[in-house]
Amino acid sequence: ERFIEWEVSYTFPAIGLRTIFFNAQHIPDENNTRLILLALNDITLRTEAEKIQSHQNLIMILESVPQITFSATADGAFNYFNNFFLDYAGITLPGALERNWMDIINPAQLNDVSQSWSHSIKTLENFNKEFQLRRKSDGMYRWHICRATAIINDQGVVTSWVGSATDIDEQKVLEKAKDEFISIASHELKTPLTSAKAFLQIIEHSMQQKKSADLIYIKKAGAAIDRLTGLVVELLDVSKIQHGKLGMHIASFNFNKMLSEAIESVQISSTKHTILQTGQIRKEIKGDEQRLKQVIINLLSNAIKYSPEADKVFVNAELKNGIVKVSVKDTGIGISKKNLNKIFDRYYREDGRAVHFQGLGVGLSIVKEIIQRHNGKIWAESEPGSGSTFYFTLPV
């Protein structure tokens, strides 16, 4: 090469950290001796100035955003809050930097927020948290969603953190009202449904004795009520989860028997699909049998629902190294990669083909909660158009 340039930062024992710019040129001459001209230039001050300029540019951007923004040093000490935050909180910048920012966070949440912040600083994972910040003008704690990201330089070193907090209080209030409505509505719906089902059973019984031709309609009405009850129970479970009231009844049970019962109850109402089981778990397992059965029924019902053109779904169960692993596989419509995590969120339903199938979008969120309460894990793998496999594991 005739010409190269490079920059290096080096700590000299006598004068400390300097940034040196090297420039090397090969100077050809007629005798063909290898002559290289090397120039060294101390550009420490220039890089410092560039840093200050880029910091000023960053501050200009952070000031122009109509939200709370802030920055911090690599070790997590805040070194800037924008005026939007100072106005909102009614504090000064020196005050905010001198730890007054802590007074603005809801004291009940401060510990949790600090822990998450330390965790992000240590692991460099993005900070992402919802908490309440006190507004000076009315003293109200308003919900914000706060996000922060580490800024990493060319050498892969974290130079600072930049973050924002967005006011989501109105959204939160609406969400709470919706959750409360669902909780009340599902309770109110359950009682009349139970009595309608009981009366239908009486009519069914008497029609059976009279061998009435209308028996089939009563059976259909019964099936419709069962489906409605299933939906109401799903909503009730969701509100129990939200209020931390989804009780678990942990006891030893026969996993194989539970799995067979779950498969049978789904198979009975499926005319097209056959559920094929492989693997056995010949061990008593500790857990909530009914809730785990609910998990398998839910995964199997989804596998059937989202594979309308197929005629088989597959279940496998195995016990390895003290961990139960169950998979439910279908060859249906599949799930796009970017949504594989979202499908476990409450009320989330994939757009596209999935919206043509009935459902409330809460089943998998309940399933996830049940598995997590057993200290297990749940995930899905999928290839859109060729099918999905759902897995869960439970420690024994």
Judged by the rule CB under 6 A, the positions of this chain that interact with ligand ADP are 302-303, 306, 330, 332-335, 343, 348-350, 354, 359-365, 388
E strand or H helix at 69? strand 68-73
**Strand duo 127-134 + 377-383: pairing:** unpaired
- When the beta carbons of 8 and 355 are compared against ligand ADP, the nearer one is 355
Give yes or no for a contact between 142 and 169, defined as CB atoms under 8 angstroms apart.
yes
Query: Which pair of structure tokens corresponds to residue 303?
Result: 């596998």
What's the closest the beta carbon of residue 290 comes to ligand ADP, in angstroms? 18
- When the beta carbons of 285 and 362 are compared against ligand ADP, the nearer one is 362
Distance of CA 382 to CAs 146, 324, 334, 336, 386, Å? 32, 21, 6, 7, 8
d(CA 146, CA 164): 6
- When the beta carbons of 348 and 391 are compared against ligand ADP, the nearer one is 348
d(CA 380, CA 360): 19
What's the closest the beta carbon of residue 364 comes to ligand ADP, in angstroms? 3
- When the beta carbons of 288 and 330 are compared against ligand ADP, the nearer one is 330
- When the beta carbons of 193 and 360 are compared against ligand ADP, the nearer one is 360
**Strand duo 274-278 + 284-287: pairing:** unpaired
- When the beta carbons of 200 and 231 are compared against ligand ADP, the nearer one is 231
- When the beta carbons of 359 and 395 are compared against ligand ADP, the nearer one is 359
Give yes or no for a contact between 143 and 169, defined as CB atoms under 8 angstroms apart.
yes
Query: Which pair of structure tokens corresponds to residue 355?
Result: 């919206």
Torsion of CA 299, 302, 307, 312, to 10 degrees: 40
Give the chain's length: 396
E strand or H helix at 192? helix 169-210
Position of tokens 């056959």? 274
d(CA 271, CA 307): 13
What's the closest the beta carbon of residue 359 comes to ligand ADP, in angstroms? 2
With CA atoms as reference, report the closest residue to 382 among 326, 330, 305.
330
What's the closest the beta carbon of residue 302 comes to ligand ADP, in angstroms? 4
What's the closest the beta carbon of residue 6 comes to ligand ADP, in angstroms? 52
Give yes or no for a contact between 141 and 134, defined as CB atoms under 8 angstroms apart.
yes
How far separated are the first and last CA of the chain, in Å rounded? 64
d(CA 325, CA 316): 8
- When the beta carbons of 146 and 380 are compared against ligand ADP, the nearer one is 380
Residue 183 amino acid letter: S
What's the closest the beta carbon of residue 194 comes to ligand ADP, in angstroms? 22
What's the closest the beta carbon of residue 350 comes to ligand ADP, in angstroms? 3
Tell me the backbone φ, ψ of residue 164, rounded to 5 degrees. -145, 160
What's the closest the beta carbon of residue 337 comes to ligand ADP, in angstroms? 13
Pure H helices in 211-254: 215-242
What's the closest the beta carbon of residue 341 comes to ligand ADP, in angstroms? 11
What's the closest the beta carbon of residue 343 comes to ligand ADP, in angstroms? 4
